[in-house]
Amino acid sequence: MNPRLLLLIGIVAAGLLIAVWQPVDLDTLFHWGERFTGNPLALLLIILIQGLLFTFALPGSTLVWVVAPFQAPWISVPVLIAGSLLGALGAHLFADRLTRNWQPGGQAQAIIDLLEKRGDVLTQIALRALPGFPHSVVNYAGGLLRLPLPGYITAVVIGLGCKWSVYAVAIYGIGSAAQGEDALSVWQLLPLFLLAGLFLLAAWLRPRLMGKRH
């Protein structure tokens, strides 16, 4: 079975077990999380792990759930951007070696074709910022096509900075409300609406960017 699918199943199963049996109460869980992610060495470790995961086309995005619920966005977002940038540079650097036996198809080939024709910074930012475009494919495509590093780095920082900001604010707001057992306020719900808007925009823009290829 696909390792990514196994990881996703494991995360979902663990979440269900915690929700049903609650082996640790929510306040204690958040206390542990805040203590762990409050350590600068732990944040550095998160950055390194995310960088390695993205370098080798593994799901580095899952690290958002390690830091975003426990730290304010002004801390979690730079950490996530740093890890994503490290992984993007690693994939860019080792793309030739890591993709020797890779035969892209479907959406992956469409992304490569798109960046080969339109590798400008704005297109790269769109691919980074909108859900539905796999980071690993964009990373490897940039390396295989040898997209210029200044534009490549700019797209990672701006595109993923926007996306991680929305995710982090939404997750932190929900976590804070749950910990205090309060109803979500309008300001805490706003990032969720922004996130839904990103998904809708991605669904509308994807076929237009890729020439209606699937």
Q: Which residues contact 126 (CB under 8 A, 6 or more apart)?
A: 159, 205, 209
Query: Mean of the pLDDT values across residues 185-213?
Result: 61
The tens digit of pLDDT for each residue in 11-43 reads: 556 555 555 555 545 556 566 677 778 788 999
Query: Mean of the pLDDT values across residues 110-125?
Result: 86
Gap between the Cα atoms of 198 and 1, Å rounded = 30
Model pLDDT, residue 126: 84
Q: How many Cα atoms are found within 13 Å in the side-chain-facing hemisphere of 29? A: 17
Gap between the Cα atoms of 26 and 87, Å rounded = 32
Model pLDDT, residue 71: 87
Say if CB 154 and CB 136 are below 8 A apart.
no
pTM for the full model? 0.74
**pLDDT tier for residue 192 given thresholds of 50, 70 and 90:** low
In the chain, % of residues over pLDDT 90: 22
Give me the helix-helix angle, 135-144 and 73-98, nearest 10°: 50
The tens digit of pLDDT for each residue in 34-88 reads: 777 878 899 999 999 999 999 988 888 888 888 988 888 999 999 999 999 999 9
Say if CB 143 and CB 96 are below 8 A apart.
yes
Model pLDDT, residue 213: 46
In the chain, % of residues over pLDDT 70: 62
User: Between 95 and 210, whose confidence is greater?
Assistant: 95
**212 torsion bin: left (phi>0), alpha (psi -120 to 50), beta (else):** left
Q: Is the pLDDT of residue 146 over 50?
A: yes
Gap between the Cα atoms of 166 and 171, Å rounded = 9
Model pLDDT, residue 110: 81
The structural domains of the chain, with segments of one domain joined by +, span 25-209
Say if CB 172 and CB 73 are below 8 A apart.
yes
Model pLDDT, residue 101: 62
**What string of DSSP letters covers 160-179?**
IHHHHHHHHHHHHHHHHHHH
Query: Mean of the pLDDT values across residues 151-172?
Result: 90
User: 71-76 long-range CB contacts below 8 Å, 24 or more apart?
Assistant: 71/34, 71/37, 71/38, 71/172, 72/172, 73/165, 73/168, 73/169, 73/172, 75/37, 75/43, 76/37, 76/164, 76/168, 76/172
Query: Mean of the pLDDT values across residues 155-168?
Result: 90
